[in-house]
Structure 1
Amino acid sequence: MTYASFTLAEWLAVLQHELLLFAAIFFVIGAADELAVDIGWLWLRLTGRGKAQRCGTGNGADQALSGMAAVFIPAWQEAAVIGTTISHALSVWPQSKLRIYVGCYRNDVATIAAVIEAAGGDQRLRLVIHDVAGPSTKADCLNRLYAALSEDERRSGNNSHMVLLHDAEDMVDPAGLALLDRAIQQAELAQLPVLPMPQPRSRWIGSHYCEEFAEAHGKAMVLRDAMGTGLPSAGVGCAISRGALFLLAAERGENAPFAADCLTEDYELGLSIAEMGGRTRFVRARHADGQLVATRACFPHELRAAVRQKTRWVLGIAFQGWDRMGWNGSLAERWMRLRDRRGPFTALVLAAAYALLVLAGFASLLSLLGLGAPFEISPLLRALLVINFASFLWRAAFRFAFTAHEYGAMEGLRSILRIPVTNVIAIMAGRRALVSYLASLAGKMPAWDKTAHDAHPASPNPREALT
């Protein structure tokens, strides 16, 4: 029998078999990768190396800094949230050696006004207005802030000993500044966890970030820290030593340590410091009441905004990261970079799996109508499916455990129910990132495709403000 003589039902059977084999094999490979991380993390927990340190009874506000600390906050069209971020940070971080640099653009009058109002005359805040019209890129805005810091240091003769990165929508932790101040004395980069806020009015989109960060910053980053591989900066709650930034600026030229042509300059920053021989640390600690010391934020609550944000991550980390940083380092380092850059392929495998579901439903309908025979599963495929199902249960258990530990059992249960939503967002972001990357190869460089923010975790009832 030749392919030309196949009936529709026979063609469907062949397509189902190939899609199922493709998806099943690569799901098993992905499961093995995740299992290796799980085993490594469990070993750290059993040996006591994976536990979070405990803060004292105070919140860290009374701890003096060992040197000047500069906080960089790039802002473009952030009038709705930047004021709350600034006022909160200035109130919970009262240290006199703190300086907050907020970068705005000359054509964003609303954000400039919000910054001035929130400062309330506090001399620790420095408003820096970019000399170009916005938006450029986040890294370009950060480089403008770095230039302002360098000029202030030259005039005063007093250099900062670390620079913190934060976004306009962040709620900083009272203990975060003191923890990073201590950590940076023994490292060139230190990163605090990020804790997204659950959003009752966006249970399926905005809240799906909760489980992703809970597991990534509760397990994967802990393992990377223990293995000594480079830590990718999250771009918020991150401290870099002044010396490391100086070396990066000297290496890249024009007094610009941040890669202005990269959409995920924060990710590249951490790995670049590690490649230079700098030490990177992931600082995980809890308050006396058990609350995680972390940077809190409200993530996008609409599908389009979530897809846009994750498109930027996939494009910057997977495509640009591969082009710009390659596969340097030890075997463990290359393993971690492979995990970072698997987003596009994961999207492809997920798309194949969901296409298979649709195809199987159509084939079953034809079988019920007597137009084809039921699809026969070979012993090999049956074994792969059993392994994949067991892996799914294992992954769901881990997802529930990490999410429930930070947000409670109900949010842990929702994290499992949100798995299909998370997968669909990943598929859409992967496709959009590939299109953008191909466009960049043709000379069209992506701009700052930033997320619009309309809620802040430090505001009264921030989650209820979402519509």
Structure 2
Amino acid sequence: MLDLYVWLAGYWLLTRELLLLAAAGVAVSSLDDLLFDALYFARQIWRRMTVYRVWERADASSLKGPAADAPIAVFVPAWDEADVIGQMLATFARTMRHPHYRIFVGVYPNDPATRAAVASAGDPRIEIVVAPHPGPTTKADCLNAIWRGMEAHERAQGVRFKAVVLHDAEDVAHARELDVIDYLIPAKAMVQLPVVPFADPQSRWIAGHYLDEFAESHTKDMVVREAIGAALPAAGVACGFEREMMGRIAVALGGAPFDPDSLTEDYELGHRIHARGGKAVFVRIPGTRGEPHVTTREHFPATLETAVRQKSRWLLGIALQGWDRIGWQGGLAARYMLMRDRKALLNALVVIVAYVAALAYAAAIVLKSTVPDARLLPAVVEPGSALHGLLRLTTILLAWRLAMRMMFTGRQHGIIEAVRALPRAFIGNIVNFLAALRASALYVRGAIRKTAPVWEKTAHRFPETVAHD
């Protein structure tokens, strides 16, 4: 019996330490998120009391046209995208209202199917740029090939593009997207529009958790980043850049604006623009009065494996490579945002520790009510203790966090998806934990072997209803 008592005492101590570790980590992260919430709501209240009392809310259809006819270049990097690229290009060309643009699609010499799909679009505004190396390389390398193709077009035609817009091969762009970007550039060096995932009836939980994350990130987080003067990370799609700023970055990097060794070239580009004093803006604006916002929509990974692969690439590029490549540059706001970006790896571990601690605590409660020796031990969490107070605080903070997630999801996708956001928070945490493990393993493996990164993309799909509208 003594051995059992000793074992239970050790279990009690371990459970208490796990609870303390998890509660401390959750509290720190949740208080950081709470600060972001406070900044967002304070900004919303201030704008309602000041700006919107003087100015009417704009919509994209009310924006004045460009002063000149300088065209916009749209970059679409494509590796193994034969299944979607033709539909994407046809939809873009059919629906886009802006009259002056040219689409440059980057393909690889060893990917004839994608090249044929691009050529089948048959639109004179679409130009194929063949990368100089067999694929896949990195997305940044493909974008650099497109950049050089755009420069060759400028020299041959005697034109100068006003802006560069990035898109992926599966994107559904809003018809007034280029109008908004054209209106704001060159006053802004970078314009980022919201990205909204499609709800997938076949994957309510894996693909669905992207709905919740983007609803909060592209409604609240990006707005607060801009408000505090931090760098805006480009999302890689629905983002426009002043061509002149891109040209200066290209000169600094040896001829092209994207670093081919980067896995998150869009994120780094936003930081490079900020470091050069370029102004960036995140814009949520309706297409016309009473209509949904001007956004880009796309399908996100629908299986656990593909979601983990995608998110591990993001974590590897932003949290791990970003630490090496960007460091801790900029002022207080910039450094604070870099910290928030990089805490995702630690958060993934803390959340799993919290799940384990909660299960261990629940087991301890069952043991105390059923095992005689366990009744001799004090409670794992004694009322009035510091741990008890910390756990109450984290419970309140977690309830607030889930309420915020549900609120932002509900605003974007309706009440049913808001309810689903509650269990999807658990699923998202599991995906993020597995992605953090994979990203860390890839980072260590790459450091040891000194291997160059490659374009590890997932299979994409284009919505049939949009393609045939």
- Preserved CA contact (<8 Å) 2:98 2:178: no
Question: In 1, are the aligned partners of 2:226 and 2:281 still within 8 Å (CA)?
Answer: yes
Distance 1:446 1:5 in 2: 52
1:390 maps onto 2:396 in alignment: yes
Query: Which whole-Å CA distance do the structure 2 matches of 1:219 and 1:257 have between them?
Result: 29
Change beyond 3 A, Cα 1:188–1:57: closer
User: How far apart, in 1, do the equivalents of 2:411 and 2:68 lie?
Assistant: 31
Which amino acid counterpart does residue 58 of structure 2 have in structure 1? Answer: R
Map 1:114-129; keep pairs closer than 5 Å.
114-117=117-120, 119-120=121-122, 122-129=123-130
1:10 and 2:16 matched = no
Structure 2 match to 1:449? 456
Cα distance in 2, alignment partners of residues 97 and 290 from structure 1: 24
Deviation sequence 1:208-254 (CA, Å, 0-9, x none): 1111111111011111112221100000000011111111111111x
Structure 1 segment 90-109 matched on structure 2, within 5 A: 90-109=93-112
The aligned runs of 1:209-224 (5 Å cut-off) are 209-224=210-225
2:335: which partner in 1?
A: 334
Quote how far apart the aligned CAs of 1:11 are: 1.9
Q: 1:74 to 1:458 in 2, by over 3 A?
A: farther
Residue pair 1:436, 1:446 contacting (<8 A) in 2 also: no
Give me the whole-angstrom Cα distance separating, in 2, the residues matched to 1:381 and 1:217.
Answer: 35
Alpha-carbon distance in 1 for matches of 2:373, 2:166: 62
Cα offset, 1:366, TM superposition: 4.4
Structure 1 residue 360 displacement after superposition: 3.2
Shift of 1:398: 1.2
Structure 1 stretch displaced more, 346-355 or 418-427: 346-355
- SS in structure 1 at match of 2:312: helix
Report what 1:162 is aligned to.
163
Counterpart in the other structure of 1:356: 357
Partners of 1:181 and 1:18 lie apart in 2 by 56
Kindly state the Cα deviation for residue 13 of structure 1 after the two structures are TM-superposed: 1.2
1:112 aligns with 2:111: no
Deviations 1:173-226 (A, max 9, x none): 011110011111211111001011111110000011111111111011111112
Per-residue CA distance 1:15-72 (angstroms, 9 max, x = gap): 11111111101111111111111111111110117989531558x8998974110000
AA in 2 matched with 1:403: T
**8 A contact 1:65–1:95 mirrored in 2:** no
Q: CA deviation at 1:356?
A: 1.6
Correspondence 1:277-426 to 2 at 5 A = 277-287=277-287, 288-364=289-365, 366-367=367-368, 368-370=370-372, 372-373=374-375, 375-378=379-382, 379-426=385-432
CA apart distance, 1:110 = 1.6
Runs (5+) with no aligned partner, structure 1: 463-467
Does structure 1 conserve the Cα–Cα contact (< 8 Å) formed by 2:4 and 2:373? no
Distance 1:65 1:82, change over 3 A: farther
Deviation readout 1:263-289 (Å, 9 max, x if unpaired)? 101000001110011111111111322
* Paired residue total: 455
TM-score for the superposition, normalised by structure 2 = 0.92
Aligned to 1:465: none
Where 2:374 maps in the other structure, the secondary structure is coil
**Distance in structure 2 (CA, Å) of the matches to 1:384 and 1:290:** 45
> CA 1:105/1:408 → structure 2, altered by over 3 Å: closer, same or farther?
same
For 1:53 and 1:325, locate their aligned partners in 2 and report how far apart those are by CA, in whole Å: 37
Deviation at 1:107, TM superposition (A): 1.4
Aligned partner of 2:461: which letter?
D
Determine helix, strand or coil for the equivalent of 1:73.
strand
SS at match of 2:172: coil
Q: Does residue 82 in structure 1 map to residue 81 in structure 2?
A: no
State the AA in 1 paired with 2:171. Answer: D
TM-score of the two chains, using structure 1 as the length reference: 0.92
Deviations 1:74-129 (A, max 9, x none): 01111111111101111112544210011111111221121111x22x21000112
> Over aligned residues, Cα RMSD in angstroms?
2.3
Structure 2 CA distance for partners of 1:371 and 1:263, relative to 1, 3 Å? farther
Equivalent-residue separation in structure 1 for 2:265 and 2:14 (angstroms): 41
User: Which residue does the alignment assign to 2:26?
Assistant: 27
SS at match of 2:162: strand
Q: What do the CA deviations read for 1:349-406 (whole angstroms, capped 9, x no partner)? A: 0121122234335445544344634642141111111111111121122111111111
1:229 is aligned to 2:230:
yes
Q: Which residue of 1 aligns with 2:269?
A: 269
- 1:455 Cα deviation after fit: 3.8
Q: 1:285 to 1:95 in 2, by over 3 A?
A: closer
**2:97/2:175 contact within 8 Å kept:** no
Cα displacement string for residues 305-349 of structure 1 (whole angstroms, at most 9, x for unaligned residues): 001000011110001111111111111111111111111100110
Please give the alpha-carbon distance, in whole angstroms, between the structure 2 residues aligned to 1:32 and 1:170.
35
Identity of aligned pairs, percent?
38
Q: Distance in 1 between matches of 2:193 and 2:465?
A: 18
Q: Which amino acid aligns with 1:80?
A: D
Q: Does 1:432 align with 2:444?
A: no
Are 1:45 and 2:44 matched, yes or no? yes
CA distance in 2, matches of 1:420, 1:65: 51
2:58 is the alignment partner of 1:54: yes
